[in-house]
């Protein structure tokens, strides 16, 4: 099992080692997460980026042990503050989720109970974990709704999910996730379905809430504009593997893996002419049920085609340390490339 861990400035809160998750299908085992190593320090915000189908959401659910049949974790370790998550009992998991780790899903309306009032949905984890009275839990729920910017929280607490706007529903999900002040929050595409103004407000709320509570954040997104706003560090995922990892300032100016470079080149930029086509990455993510002896990105890689490297299709590339806390998984890492200014990384919806 290959292990790759970049040193952080504080002890890791979450440590993932060699994690593998697969799904059984008619085509065979689909290896959605393959030998992933990742650490998250206390108070750190990490952006996990990649195309749809790269394995980001499956990794997030694997951390929480929410993978359902026909999926299963087949290998690896997940340690949270030194505790082995994969050996926890159901009772231990129930206590751990919510109290120590929270989750915000990308479709808030589908995650809320349609027949329960908002206030009680926020109050429920407080009653379960803190063993407080109904009135105390309700009062705390109203305070939480106010803290996440819900207007007239005393009235909205009595509302049902269908009576909320998309932005309000997402704020409620954040209130639920933060109710017990978890040490780690996982947000899976938290602003995808929201309009421009609401997106910016939700991102600011997430950032400020994490800073105020000292909460670590794993932000799952395909959106480099979101990463530029929030993240301290970025991990790029492709075909179930993390292919590059480093500080946000480096990853948004000088990514070294050709896939990470392709994501950056495909992002809208300041000064781009109206109607100008964005540069895309040719090809598509490979079939994860088929063996890939070499680099999974090789069939789409212009760098490999130019250099005609045999290793790219015969053996998986190891992680190479490029700079401080910056590494990439590639056989053809360039010595120097022209950097892109960070100010050019802009997403048109943020």
CA angle (238, 244, 245) in 5-degree steps: 125
CA distance 287 to 271: 37
CA distance 312 to 305: 10
Each residue of 116-157: pLDDT tens digit? 999 999 999 898 888 899 999 999 999 999 989 899 999 999
For the chain, the structural domain boundaries read 12-100+182-344, 115-177
Average pLDDT, the chain: 87
C-alpha distances (whole Å) from 258 to each of 33, 95, 140, 244, 348 are 20, 42, 48, 10, 23
Joined together, the tokens standing for residue 181 give 């002040």
Joined together, the tokens standing for residue 25 give 């299908």
User: For strand 233-238 and strand 241-247, is the pairing parallel, antiparallel, or unpaired?
Assistant: antiparallel
- Phi, psi torsion values for 13, nearest 5 degrees: -85, -40
User: Which secondary structure element, helix H or strand E, spans residue 41, and what is its range?
Assistant: strand 28-41
SS3 of residue 33 by DSSP: strand
pLDDT beyond 70 at 277: no
What integer is the mean pLDDT of 243-268? 92
CA distance 78 to 37: 9
Joined together, the tokens standing for residue 297 give 């990105």
What pLDDT does residue 202 have? 85
Name which of 240, 230, 187, 192 is nearest 31 in CA terms.
240
What pLDDT does residue 349 have? 34
Q: Name the residue with higher pLDDT: 110 or 227.
A: 227
What integer is the mean pLDDT of 239-246? 96
What integer is the mean pLDDT of 186-196? 84
What pLDDT does residue 200 have? 86
pLDDT beyond 60 at 347: no
pLDDT beyond 50 at 346: no
pLDDT beyond 90 at 36: yes
pTM listed for this prediction = 0.87
Which CATH architecture best describes the domain 12-100+182-344? 3-Layer(aba) Sandwich (3.40)
pLDDT beyond 50 at 1: no
What pLDDT does residue 223 have? 86
Joined together, the tokens standing for residue 188 give 């899976």
């Amino acid at each position: 099992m290959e292990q790759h861990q970049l040193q952080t400035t504080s002890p890791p809160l979450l440590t993932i080692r060699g994690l593998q998750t697969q799904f059984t299908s008619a085509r065979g085992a689909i290896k959605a997460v393959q030998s992933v190593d990742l650490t998250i320090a206390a108070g750190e915000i990490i952006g996990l980026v990649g195309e749809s189908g790269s394995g980001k959401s499956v990794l997030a659910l694997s951390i929480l042990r929410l993978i359902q049949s026909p999926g299963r974790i087949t290998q690896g370790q997940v340690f949270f503050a030194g505790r082995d998550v994969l050996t926890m009992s159901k009772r231990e998991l129930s206590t751990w989720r919510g109290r120590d780790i929270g989750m915000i899903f990308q479709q808030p309306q589908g995650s809320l109970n349609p027949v329960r009032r908002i206030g009680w949905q926020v109050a429920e984890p407080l009653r379960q974990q803190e063993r407080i009275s109904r009135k105390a839990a309700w009062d705390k729920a109203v305070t939480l709704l106010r803290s996440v910017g819900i207007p007239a929280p005393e009235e909205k607490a009595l509302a049902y999910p269908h009576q909320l706007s998309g932005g309000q529903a997402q704020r409620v999900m954040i209130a639920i996730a933060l109710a017990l002040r978890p040490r780690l929050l996982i947000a899976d595409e938290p602003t995808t379905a929201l309009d421009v103004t609401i997106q910016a407000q939700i991102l600011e709320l997430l950032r400020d809430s994490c800073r105020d509570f000292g909460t670590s954040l794993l932000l799952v997104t395909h959106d480099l504009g979101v990463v530029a706003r929030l993240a301290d560090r970025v991990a790029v995922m492709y075909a179930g593997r993390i292919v590059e990892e480093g500080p946000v300032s480096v990853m948004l100016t000088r990514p070294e893996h050709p896939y990470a470079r392709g994501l950056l080149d495909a992002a809208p930029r300041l000064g781009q002419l109206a109607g100008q086509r964005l540069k895309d990455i040719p090809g598509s993510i490979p079939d994860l049920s088929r063996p890939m002896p070499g680099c999974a990105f090789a069939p789409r890689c212009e760098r490999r085609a130019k250099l005609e490297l045999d290793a790219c299709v015969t053996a998986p590339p190891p992680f190479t340390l490029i700079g401080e806390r910056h590494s990439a998984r590639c056989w053809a890492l360039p010595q120097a490339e022209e950097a892109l200014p960070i100010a050019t990384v802009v997403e048109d919806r943020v």
